[in-house]
């Protein structure tokens, strides 16, 4: 698939990307900043349309489905989670407005968020945002994960979901994400390669193209490959 943002039609951001994911599989997208990873997720979520090429879900072109069904079956956990000014409960329930209080609490527990929520005097009714409590990056991340758990999507997109966290929040968030991914088709954009060692397929994006693809072990066989050079920067040999 080919794509340029409408604001910069002369600059192709995706140049012949071809990716396929089977139901329940986990794939990862890695590569330098600006390679086009987040752009792919924007196309999946239908915020933009490819200039050439198509996205298929269960063998049907994505535009044959209702937009609300497509988005209703996907959840994205980004690097910078934006919560709206309301209670923690409202922010979690946004994933599924008909959820009961106990569903919301259950989701918060699975997301490793319950412990810090319980520490606030108003618990789930604590107001966040400008007029309320300021949550840390890791806390916001876990609220977003609780929201995704409640939404129960078939397709999960993690876009550098743990990139900006300290080690302890990263552990808690990573643990919650592992649980969230179970039984879902997951697309993981990861900065730290250690977190994607076990995925079914890794795509290494470079400047809008797929430079390499394979499993972690397969990609490491290519000593001069981009993946190996990224890995060398991160792992100890």
Residues that bind ligand ADP (CB under 6 A): 5, 7-8, 13, 31, 33-39
Q: Which is nearer to ligand ADP, 22 or 33 (CB)?
A: 33
Binding of Mg ion at residue 38 (CB under 5 A)? yes
Candidate segments 37-45, 69-77, 122-130, 178-186, binder of Mg ion by CB under 5 A: 37-45
In the complex, minimum distance from the CB of residue 205 to ligand ADP, in angstroms, rounded to a whole number: 6
Q: How far is CA 43 from the centre of its chain?
A: 14
| Burial group, residue 104, by CB count within 10 angstroms (0-12, 13-18, 19+) | buried
Q: Which is nearer to Mg ion, 149 or 196 (CB)?
A: 196
Residue nearest to Mg ion (CB): 38
In the complex, minimum distance from the CB of residue 13 to ligand ADP, in angstroms, rounded to a whole number: 4
Whole-angstrom CA distances from 110 to 9, 124, 173, 178, 179 are 43, 15, 10, 10, 8
Residue 235 touches which of Mg ion, ligand ADP, none (CB < 5 to 8 A by kind)? Answer: none
Residue 145 CB partners (closer than 8 Å, separation 6+): 77, 111, 112, 113, 173, 176, 177, 180
CA dist 170 and 172 (Å) reads 5
Q: Which is nearer to Mg ion, 30 or 150 (CB)?
A: 30
Q: Which residues contact Mg ion (rule: CB under 5 A)?
A: 37-38
């Amino acid at each position: 698939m080919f794509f340029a943002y409408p604001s910069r039609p002369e600059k192709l951001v995706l140049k012949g990307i071809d990716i396929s994911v089977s139901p329940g599989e986990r794939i990862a997208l890695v590569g330098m900043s600006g390679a086009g990873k987040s752009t792919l997720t924007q196309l999946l979520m239908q915020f933009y349309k490819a200039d050439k090429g198509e996205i298929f879900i269960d063998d049907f072109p994505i535009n044959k489905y209702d937009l609300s069904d497509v988005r209703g079956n996907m959840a994205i956990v980004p690097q910078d989670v934006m919560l709206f000014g309301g209670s923690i409960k409202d922010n979690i329930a946004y994933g599924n407005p008909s959820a009961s209080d106990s569903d919301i609490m259950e989701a918060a527990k699975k997301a490793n968020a319950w412990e810090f929520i319980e520490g606030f005097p108003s618990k789930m009714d604590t107001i966040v945002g400008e007029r309320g409590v300021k949550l840390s990056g890791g806390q916001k991340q876990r609220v977003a994960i609780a929201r995704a758990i409640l939404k129960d999507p078939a397709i999960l997109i993690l876009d550098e979901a743990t990139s900006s966290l300290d080690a302890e929040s990263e552990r808690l968030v990573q643990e919650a994400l592992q649980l969230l991914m179970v039984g879902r088709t997951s697309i993981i954009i990861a900065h730290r390669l250690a977190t994607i060692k076990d995925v079914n397929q890794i795509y290494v994006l470079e400047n809008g193209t797929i430079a390499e693809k394979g499993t972690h072990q397969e990609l490491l066989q290519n000593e001069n490959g981009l993946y190996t050079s990224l890995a060398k920067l991160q792992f100890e040999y």
